[in-house]
Amino acid sequence: MADCIFCSIANHDIPTDPIYEDELIIAFNDLEPQAPVHFLVVPKKHIESIDAATEDDSELISHIMLTIPKLAAEQGLENGYRIVINTGDDGGQTVKHLHFHILGKRKMTWPPG
């Protein structure tokens, strides 16, 4: 999708400094971090939100979920972390491309904002 910022990052049209990349996903630090460690994991395939994911995306979603703990460990999140998937306007999704926020190195509160 030409006007999607995360597609542009995944295609290297917009430069970023990835903390991880493979053929399916790219991970990079959030530009407006909400915790001492805050990075995003983004599928290279454009999927608008978790609501738009299909059975065909199950291997991709599984790959993301199995990669996140490895990246969290590499980022020093030994005391835990939070994974956030914002979905839709009421869920706070501002970029219409599925992405996973990983936040850590601070105590998380509940309920979240």
Cα–Cα distance for residue pair 20/28, rounded to 1 Å? 7
Residues marked as catalytic? 99
- Does the pLDDT of residue 5 top 70, yes or no? yes
Looking up tokens 């979920």, which residue turns up? 65
Write the pLDDT tens digit of every residue in 44-60.
999 999 999 999 999 99
CA Rg, the chain, in Å?
Answer: 14
Q: Which fold has domain 5-104?
A: HIT family, subunit A (3.30.428)
Averaged pLDDT, 99-113:
93
Beta pairing partners, 103: 38, 82
Question: What are the domain boundaries of the chain?
Answer: 5-104
- pLDDT one-digit tens code per residue, 60-90: 999 999 999 999 999 999 999 999 999 999 9
Per-residue pLDDT for 1 more than 80? no
Query: Residue 112's pLDDT is what?
Result: 81
Omega before 111 within 30 of 0, i.e. cis: yes
